[in-house]
């Protein structure tokens, strides 16, 4: 059950970040990266094990990659402009930082 919850939470974070990053050009991108960071910190607190965080990150990445490819009507939610590329790279980097920043060697 935790597997499904972490995958759905990662997909929800990806969807919210995708919709938010084009809201108001610099502010929406910053808010989506902050949302991604805080969301993955919540995943780390709720599901303690790293494997659930990796599953949430994989579902986030799958949703974001799918949103950046053309659909049947040539609709693209994450365009190939500066803010779209910054969201893809910055979001993935934010996820990696949030997953490994607070890891202690003694836990």
Q: What is the pLDDT of residues 48-103, one digit of tens each?
A: 888 999 999 999 999 999 999 998 888 888 888 999 999 999 999 999 999 888 66
Cβ proximity of 28 and 22 under 8 Å: yes
Instruction: Report which DSSP code applies to 48.
Output: -
Six-digit token pair at 93? 């980097």
pTM, two decimals, is 0.88
pLDDT value for 74: 83
Q: What mean pLDDT is predicted for residues 40-52?
A: 91
Please write the tens of the pLDDT for every residue from 14-29.
Answer: 999 999 998 888 899 9
Backbone angles phi, psi at 77, to 5 degrees: -85, -30
Alpha-carbon distance 72 to 17, whole Å?
22
Helix, strand or coil for residue 45? helix
């Amino acid at each position: 059950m935790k597997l499904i919850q972490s995958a759905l939470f990662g997909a929800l974070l990806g969807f919210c970040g995708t919709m938010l990053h084009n809201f108001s050009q610099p502010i929406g991108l910053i808010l989506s990266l902050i949302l991604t960071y805080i969301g993955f910190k919540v995943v780390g607190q709720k599901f303690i094990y790293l494997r659930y965080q990796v599953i949430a990150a994989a579902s986030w990445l799958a949703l974001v990659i799918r949103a950046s490819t053309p659909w049947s009507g040539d609709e693209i939610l994450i365009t190939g402009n500066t803010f779209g590329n910054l969201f893809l790279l910055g979001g993935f980097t934010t996820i990696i930082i949030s997953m490994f920043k607070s890891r202690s060697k003694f836990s």
